[in-house]
Structure 1
Amino acid sequence: MAEITAAHQERIHWSGAASQAELDSWQTIAEGVARELAVDVLERDRANEDPHRELQLLRDSGLVNLLDPVEFGGGGAHWETAFLVIRTLARVDASVAQVLAYHFINKSNISFLLPRAEQAEWYRATIDGKWFWGDSVNPVDPNLELTVNADGWRLNGVKHFSTGASVGDRILISAAVTGGTRDGQLVLFVVNADAAGVEPLGDWDALGQRLSASGSVRYTDVRVTESDLLGELTDQPFANLITPGIQLAFANLYLGIAQGALEQARDLTRARRNAWFLSSADLYRNDPFVLRVFGEFVARVDAVEALADRAARRFDSVVALGDKLTFESRGAIEVEIAKVKIVSSEVGVEVTNRVFEATGSSSAKSSVGLDLFWRNIRTHSLHDPVDYKKLEVGAHFLNGEFQPISLYT
């Protein structure tokens, strides 16, 4: 990997902010995909199968290439738009929204790690092939090793929580190098999901996010060459924008889940006729206690949305700095996004849990499927402890401190 030089200053194709026309156009596309996903979302969740057909919908819609450069045939959209798309899909199918979110982040490493002159070949191939990018990057599971051999390296080991790896076209992988000139380096590289020695284990068995294809992958003597490398994992601020990026994607995932739960709960509530026998209301939806619960939830979810939208616009402005980005500026956006992560996690879990209080006992039927929202957010919100996001915000507020750069902070 080349060292950071002046050539890296022209690394990115994102600039400016998303126009309302851009946001509206891509949201319309996402809503169309969401309507198709909604038709059999419960059946697909219960089948617990990898989402091959669902990902084809994303390819056909153009969402798979939303963030890519226009000059190579990509959508040319901004990050604010990508986060809105994730939120829109999560209202219906959070598993598919998660796979797309990881895809956006994984593929963005082309721009975050490579000089502009080296990006064209990667972007042309991924756009023309409509590649989906899964990953095996879980930083708390450092069980992969790249060992030097005559024509490059051989990859061995098992990586857990490899989202999208079993359904994607390419897999972004992190592994430590043993031997040679890169001995001891932790590098990011890309392999073909169909390469010899790549074996998805099919062991994803979670309460929710069942179609996120997040099982383990075993790698056995998988061939890796210099041309597969994107770069070394360092503490260079711009190269590490993937962390605040994925955290904001998570926040929008949780926000979309909460919005979806409220939308279904509203329909269920309006369909009920009789109020509780002790109520003075004529209809169930006019009961003051029901109105109070919905009023509280709508206000809190809308507040999260406002905070998420603000963070998304600021993220685009930070990305546009390229290698001019400082540690302090990166830290500031990470803290900003940590705030959204905190409130989206807590509001989302509470809304998807307590919404049953407003919809009543009949909404707990398995055939209704209102539980899907709670199961999904309860599962994914455990990805990394929200308490440490609170610590991050508190340390900055009280002491002006930023957490060290990592794949979680």
Structure 2
Amino acid sequence: MTIAVSPNIAVDPNPRDTERWPAGAPGPARAAEPAHVIRDAAEALRVAHALADTFRAGASERDRSGRRPLAELDAFSQSGLWSINVPRAHGGPGLSYRTLAQVIAIVSAADPSIGQIAQNHLGIVASIDTVSDEAQKALLFGLVLAGTRFGNAFSEIGTPRAADFRTHFVEDGDHVVVQGTKFYATGALLAHLVPIVALDGEGRAWYAIAERNAPGLTVIDDWSSFGQRTTASGTVQIDGVRVPKSHLVPAWKGYARPSADGAIFQIIQAAVDAGIARAALAETIDFVRTRSRPWIDSGLERASDDPHTIRIVGDLTIRLHAAEALLDRAGLALDAAVADPDADTVAAAQLAVAEAKVLTTEVALSTTNTLFELAGTRATLAEHNLDRHWRNARTHTLHDPVRWKYAIIGNHALNGVNPPFHAWS
């Protein structure tokens, strides 16, 4: 039995992939039918809400069991939401980044692990649009429109800085051969193609987009974080993996001149955090209304009538709405930078996204923590699993430390210094 979301899009409520995947297990099969293509922003939001309704139902169980959301990702990518930033010139919807951020926030309010898994795919699509030639765009966008999912093998552990990579490739005829090890590889386990950040002989970074089941590419399901548990953000071992040059994307070109590529990755991070905050606030309100008891000194019959609780919920609501407004503003700034990239428009987008990142981080952490203060001791019982919201917020907001966002915003306001230009800004 499946749960229909819209024509040709369904979620199996009883999927079989209930265990962690053993090292070397093959990746998922590609869909038998092409993915849907979204028509406009209104449809994208409708589909996002429909999917979120199905994802929400199993989110707590997946968090408890560690079950990987393969069925959910199949529905998500087949829905057309994984191609919404494919340009119209290549058959895609070409929707705005304002809409894309709204979609990710909606999905993440239901299950932020699923929202995060989509991030690198959508960021890669944006990068291809920035740096690839027309032939490569036609090839790779065609795969995306057919329902192919990109994972990621970007980050490494054990290097001095996040921007330092040891993974490299050498040329071999019409292929390159890639060698290295990656971690934090969100989505790679359940992807069809795995973009690997690898350096050429000149130290330039490329995306070598390998088949998930390519000989020498091993995805290890060893992600053990207390939050974002089902992103499967573990290890990828790359041992002599051959990648055709048609799938070698010059990522370095996106940072050789002004582009919004880094800010696009960042706004999706902020949207995930906004979704976590929405879910936590909704859980708080529901629990206080239906389960919490008023404090003995209040003289009240209902916890929801407590004036102190009312004030705090009001404060959290305002802060969430402020964060969402900044996220929306950042999407508009990004759309302007994508349409006309130069030093000024890109810096404006970076700053707007940084401001959104600050507020979405803060409201995600404060809302997920305050949930327990207002809902009371009963809210900590394992049967409710409400701590998953705080665990998800605390884990996900560690991406790209927000303390540095304050610094770049303040330095621009005081001294007119534009943000640093790299993949994390």
TM-score by length of 1: 0.88
Structure 1 segment 314-393 matched on structure 2, within 5 A: 314-321=333-340, 325-393=341-409
Q: In structure 2, the residue corresponding to 1:316 is in which secondary structure?
A: helix
Contact 1:272 1:285 in 2 (8 A): no
C-alpha deviation, 1:388, in angstroms: 1.1
- In the alignment, the residues of structure 2 paired with residue 376 and residue 79 of structure 1 have an alpha-carbon distance, to the nearest angstrom, of 24
> Aligned-pair distance for 1:397?
0.8
Equivalent residue in structure 1 for 2:85, among 58, 67, 70: 67
**Residue 215 in structure 1 maps to residue 234 in structure 2:** yes
Distance 1:141 1:52, change over 3 A: farther
Q: 2:298 aligns with which of 266, 279, 287?
A: 279
Where does 1:35-50 land on structure 2 (aligned, <5 Å)? 35-50=53-68
Q: CA deviation at 1:72?
A: 4.9
Paired residues of 1:164 and 1:212 also in contact (CA < 8 A): yes
Give the C-alpha shift of residue 186 in structure 1.
2.3
SS for the counterpart of 2:203 is coil
Q: RCO higher in 1 or 2 (8 Å CA, sep ≥ 6)? A: 1
* Deviation readout 1:236-279 (Å, 9 max, x if unpaired): 334x4221111111111111110111111111111137422211
Aligned pair count reads 380
Q: 1:305 to 1:392 in 2, by over 3 A?
A: same
Could you give the per-residue CA deviations for residues 12-55 of structure 1, whole angstroms, max 9, x where no partner exists?
xxxxxxxxx94432222111111111112111112223321121
Give CA deviations for 1:301-342 in whole Å, capped at 9, x if unaligned. 111111111111121121111xxx222321221011111111
CA distance in 2, matches of 1:49, 1:406: 34
Deviations 1:133-159 (A, max 9, x none): 111122445131112335532111101
8 A Cα contact 2:178 2:240, kept in partner: yes
Show the counterpart of 1:14.
none
| Distance apart, 1:64 and its partner CA | 2.0
Partner of 2:4: none
Tell which deviates more after alignment, 337-346 or 69-78: 69-78
Q: Secondary structure at the match of 1:134?
A: coil
Residue of 92, 102, 105 corresponding to 2:110: 92
Matched, 1:149 2:168: no
When residues 373 and 89 of structure 1 are mapped into structure 2, their CA distance, relative to the original with a 3 A threshold, is: same
CA deviation after TM superposition for structure 1 residue 353, in Å: 0.6
Match status 1:131 vs 2:174 = no
Residue 275 of structure 2 is aligned with which of 256, 259, 279?
256
- 3-state SS, counterpart of residue 250 of structure 2: strand
Distance in 2, matches of 1:291 and 1:119, equals: 52
Higher deviation after alignment, 34-43 or 21-30: 21-30
Alpha-carbon distance in structure 2 between the residues aligned to 1:244 and 1:226: 27
**Whole-Å separation in 2 of the counterparts to 1:404 and 1:397:** 14
1:228 pairs, out of 237, 247, 271, with: 247
Instruction: State the alpha-carbon separation in 2 of the partners of residues 220 and 117 from structure 1.
Output: 28
2:65 maps to amino acid: A
Partner Cα separation in structure 1 for residue 418 and residue 93 of structure 2: 34
Q: Does 1:312 align with 2:331?
A: yes
How large is the RMSD of aligned CA atoms in angstroms?
A: 1.8
- Asked whether the equivalents of residues 86 and 253 of structure 1 are also in contact (C-alpha less than 8 Å), the reply is yes
Deviation at 1:118? 4.1
Change (3 A) 1:170 1:400: same
**Corresponding position of 1:160:** 183
Residue 18 of structure 2 is matched in structure 1 by none
Q: Is structure 2 residue 76 aligned with structure 1 residue 58?
A: yes
Give the Å deviation of 1:404: 3.0
Alignment identity in percent?
29
Which sections of structure 1, spanning at least 5 residues, go unmatched?
1-20
User: Which residue is equivalent to 2:311?
Assistant: 292
Tell me what 1:8 maps to.
none
Tell me, which stretches of 5 or more residues in structure 2 are unaligned?
A: 1-38, 156-161
- Separation in 2, partners of 1:251, 1:219: 30
SS at match of 2:229: coil
How far apart are the structure 2 equivalents of 1:376 and 1:402? 31
Q: CA 1:72–1:38 in 2, change beyond 3 Å: closer, same or farther?
A: same
Say whether 1:398 aligns with 2:414: yes
Cα offset for 1:224?
2.3
Identify which range, 311-320 or 118-127, moves more after superposition.
118-127
Q: Secondary structure at the match of 1:135?
A: coil
The 1-side partners of 2:135 and 2:221 are apart by 38
